[in-house]
Structure 1
Amino acid sequence: MGELQSALDALAAEDARSLAPRDQLDEIRALLEARNRIDAQLALRVRAAELQQAADDDGAASMQSWLRGHGRLSPAAAGRLVRNGRVLDHLPALAEAFSAGAVSAEQVAVVAPVAKEERRAAALDQGLDLSELDHVFATVAATQHVQQLARVVQHYLARLDPDGPEPDPTEERGLTLSEFSDGTVAIRGQLDAMGGEKVKAALESIVQADRPKGDRRTRAQQLADALVQLADNQLASGDLPFLRTVKPTVVVTVRGTDLLDEATGPATATGAFGSLLSAAKARQLACDGSIVPVLIDEHGMPLDVGRSKRVVPPHIRKAVELRDEACVFAGCGAPKHWCDVHHLVHWVFGGETSLANSALLCERHHTKVHHGFRVHRDPGGRWRTYRPDGTEILIGTPLLA
């Protein structure tokens, strides 16, 4: 271990940016191989520690919990490391390739389902040679992309018990929503094959339908926006099951003074699930939402709760949809059922809830106009969009005279 630490210290002392491009790639390849070898030894040692019940020495219930606490790994990463160690017990050829650096920890995780006890038993019942299968998987892992390895594993598992019952898809699904201190939510999970196909189809339909000109979002950003839009569509449809006797909706609490202040007002509003939002975001949500006034006494206790009042009534929204048809932000055109009704002059600052003071904007562009951008409808009925510096966003190149 001392030699390994010294080698890493020497590597860290090098100036990586001084290397030529070819040398960069060669060193990256060498580092990937070294990482695989280290990951292999880590998995083997975690397995040995698990067999020794070593975690109990630190008062932990299992190696997985020890890795979460002492290694600061996520539950998913800790679980994969423990499973990989168990897999190597039954697939020595794969373990050898892993230790040699030819196979990655991710590839071992892909092969892991093959080594489950019931599947090894099924293979033996059918007269399959486990050592031969081990060499096949090791060879594919060492020579093919991880996607091809996954297809080989899926093909094998599907034919291992072709007449058996279909697995319960819910057993293969898991989803966790982790919230950070700033309200950002991290999504982690996995789906069975069919569930994944359904989700991908739904998200892809939204991604492909909303491709405005000049869209510089990454693929990951497009999918994330599509997921939020999917939630928006469902919440707006009113077809979701009741939540605590009321229709599910986004609930934000903000003081009236913060709502009326034109400043951004960071961390002054609170979501129903505890997220801290800015007053600017609360005003954006209030453009096309409902308001429930609550009178609070000096001790913060509610004295009176008023009736919910819809800011944009249905007949105004219908009129705005008929006039605008889609998001009016330059180059967008997202469909009307994805859009909020934006107050050009916000109602908290005296703007009327009227057709003349309204515009359809999708979520992304509704956010933009609450953070410096502006949309304006000229006397000829044409929507124009302006950047925070006052310059207009023009679509297309004007024809030369």
Structure 2
Amino acid sequence: MCSTGCVTPTACLAGALSALAGQDLKGSFGPAVIERTGALVIAKNRLDAELARTVREGELTQAAEHDGKATMASWLRGHHRLSKAEAARLVRNGRTLEQLPVLAAAAAAGAVTAEAVGVIAPVVSEVNLARAAAQGVDMGEIDAALTEAACTASHADLREAVGHYLARLDPDGTEPDPTEQRSLHITKNGDGTVSFHGTLDAVGGEKFQAAVESHVQADRPAGDRRTRSQRQGDALVQLCDNALAAGNLPTLRGHKPHVVVTIDLDDLMDTSTGAGAGRTGFGGIISAARARWLACDGNVTRVVMGPEGQPLDFGRTKRIVPPHLRRAVEVRDRSCVFAGCDAPTHWCDVHHVAEWLLDDGPTNLENSALLCERHHTKVHHGFRVERQPDGRWRTWRPDGTEIVLPEPFLLSA
């Protein structure tokens, strides 16, 4: 099979991969790393195509029955721990490459990614092949055109090309109900973070992007080093903040929707971070520091619990920052006071400069500062803001250095 005496091609492949894994990359410089990366991408494309071809053969010969499985998808999930989505993608790609020989040749040569094959897959569904046959569409031409797009165009352009073809294939088809194309999956992780993914129809997606982008573009302070994804994440949280603050959302269990945190008083007063001290209404775990941050501009209710966990006494809910004080802070500060930020008042919380819990800071105008959600978080994690006698706000980093903005350019007449 090869100079090393391998018996089968897969044995040769295993040997080659072992040799690659054994190479020391620490001494490699830029061009060598780029060249190696490019070669591996092509090799991966070829291997993905060969895997899809093999899975398709297994499907045709019912190979999974050998191990007591009904389908290749179930065999891939059970024997190799693939996700349901990945196993389905492999089966679908194998069928697609069988139907489109030009695409299959390009994939085998490493010029087309498995993801691109997945984008083209709907073209050869039974429904779309029947529509193409009824309209006299030359699938050979479609195969060649889409393969060229997959090899030369961007992934976004390929998606658009496939979309155009499918739309022209059924121009008079029934307009789908957009709500049937929408889904959102929310998963709470072990560390309290929340992951989500979903699908929106074209119009719903446009609304979502427009709403998020408006906050992305409005929140661009000087010296901002966040990545695009970080800025979009902050924008989505700010969008939720604004909706919750407006008070126009539907009621949830008889109350206006709000963030709920339950925490022991001793933990809340602890000067340490207090990881895992508080529990949110939807079951998330947060630190005492984050609970104090939320309490800065929220309502606090005291509940005394008995030794067996039964409530013994309910204290009166107290609004930490009353409405009249918030209005005064908004008039004075006019925007987020963090250096380089000009987030509008309706994006902001009222922060206690001297913490009302740990430092016994008063809830008054002198001890209040307007901070947007992101910078309020920063101030509760090491940054500091302070108002000077002349009314100017200054900001310090956790290391004690001040964030100083450049002086504006003055143009002479």
How does the TM-score come out when normalised to structure 1?
0.92
Give the structure 2 partner of residue 362 of structure 1. 372
Equivalent residue for 1:87? 96
Q: Deviation of residue 58 (structure 1)?
A: 6.2
Shift of 1:398: 9.5
Cα deviation digits, residues 331-361 of structure 1 (max 9, x gap) = 1111111111111122223222221211111
Amino acid at match of 2:223: G
What SS does the corresponding residue of 1:245 show, helix, strand or coil? coil
1:5 Cα shift?
Answer: 0.9
- 1:185 maps onto 2:191 in alignment: no
Q: 2:182 aligns with which of 164, 173, 176?
A: 173
2:382 corresponds to which of 360, 369, 372: 372
**CA distance 1:100–1:283, change in 2 (3 Å):** same
Q: Any idea what the Cα deviations from partners look like across 1:374-393, whole Å, max 9, x if unmatched?
A: 11111111111122233322
Quick one: distance in 1 between partners of 2:135 and 2:114? 29
Shift of 1:54: 5.5
Aligned-pair CA distance for 1:70: 4.5
Cα distance in 2 for partners of 1:211, 1:61 equals 54
Identity %: 58
Shift of 1:149: 1.4
The CA deviation string for residues 78-98 of structure 1, in whole angstroms up to 9 with x for no partner, is 443333233223223222221
The within-5 A match list for 1:293-308 is 293-308=302-317
1:217 aligns to 2:226 (yes or no): yes
SS in 1 for 2:357: helix
Aligned letter for 2:403? I
Deviates more, 1:116-125 or 1:90-99: 90-99
Q: What's the offset of the Cα at 1:320? A: 1.0
Q: Matches of residues 143-162 of structure 1 in structure 2 within 5 Å?
A: 143-162=152-171
In structure 2, do the counterparts of structure 1 residues 167 and 207 end up closer, same or farther at CA, with 3 Å as the change threshold? same
Pair 239,44 (structure 1): closer, same or farther in 2 beyond 3 Å: farther
Query: Alpha carbons of 1:204 and 1:289: their partners in 2 closer, same or farther (altered >3 Å)?
Result: same
Deviation at 1:145, TM superposition (A): 2.1
Q: Which runs of 4+ in 1 moved over 6 A?
A: 56-61
Deviation at 1:191, TM superposition (A): 2.4
Measure the CA separation in 1 of the matches of 2:78 and 2:345. 48
1:291 aligns with 2:300: yes
Q: List per-residue Cα deviations over 1:285-315 (Å, max 9, x = no partner).
A: 0111111211111122322333432211111
1:154-207 superposed Cα distances (whole Å, 9 cap, x missing partner): 111121122222222233333222222111222222322222221111111101
CA distance in 2, matches of 1:96, 1:283: 60
When structure 1 is superposed on structure 2, of 323-332 and 384-393 the one drifting more is 384-393
User: How far is the alpha carbon of 1:238 from its aligned partner?
Assistant: 1.3
Pick closer, same or farther for the CA change 1:53–1:189 going to 2, 3 Å: farther
Residues in 1 aligned to 2:399 and 2:28: alpha-carbon distance in whole angstroms: 42
Looking at structure 1, the residues matched to 74 and 53 of structure 2 have their Cα atoms a distance apart, in angstroms, of 17
Matches of 1:140 and 1:248, distance apart in 2: 48
What is residue 319 of structure 1 aligned with on the other side? 328
Does 1:115 find its partner at 2:124? yes
Q: Which moved more, 1:13-22 or 1:384-393?
A: 13-22
Shift of the 398–238 alpha-carbon distance from structure 1 to 2, 3 Å rule, reads closer
More off after superposition, 93-102 vs 230-239 = 93-102
Structure 1 residues 342, 59: CA separation in 2 closer, same or farther (over 3 Å shift)?
farther
Amino acid at match of 1:257: D
Q: Distance in 1 between matches of 2:183 and 2:138?
A: 33
Q: CA deviation at 1:244?
A: 2.1
What CA distance in whole angstroms lies between the structure 1 residues aligned with 2:194 and 2:212?
18
Unaligned runs of 5+ in 2: 1-9
Report the number of matched residues. Answer: 399
Cα distance between partner residues in 2 of 1:372 and 1:158 = 54
Residue 35 (structure 1) shift: 0.2
Provide the secondary structure at the position in 1 that maps to 2:365: coil
Q: How far apart in 1 are the matches of 2:238 and 2:68?
A: 45
CA distance in 2, matches of 1:194, 1:50: 38
* One-letter amino acid matched to 1:261: D
Q: Tell me whether 1:348 sits opposite 2:348 in the alignment.
A: no
Q: Output the TM-score relative to the length of structure 2.
A: 0.90
Letter in 2 for 1:356: E
Selected match of 2:396 from 386, 389, 392:
386
Q: Is 1:6 aligned with 2:15?
A: yes
Q: In the alignment, what sits opposite 2:244? A: 235
Aligned position for 2:3: none
- The answer for unaligned runs of 5 or more in structure 1 is none
Deviations 1:20-63 (A, max 9, x none): 53333222221111101111122233334445566676676765
1:242 and 1:171 map into 2 onto residues whose CA distance is 25
Residues 178 and 59 (structure 1), Cα distance of their counterparts in 2 relative to 1, 3 Å cut: farther
2:7 match? none
CA distance in 2, matches of 1:375, 1:338: 18
Offset of 1:132 from its aligned partner?
A: 2.3
Deviations 1:249-306 (A, max 9, x none): 1111111111111211011111122211000000000111111211111122322333
Partner amino acid for 2:201? D
SS of alignment partner, residue 186 of structure 2:
strand
2:30 maps to which residue?
21
Q: Deviations over 1:131-152 (max 9, x none)?
A: 3212221222122222221121
Please state how far the C-alpha of 1:243 moved relative to its aligned partner.
1.8
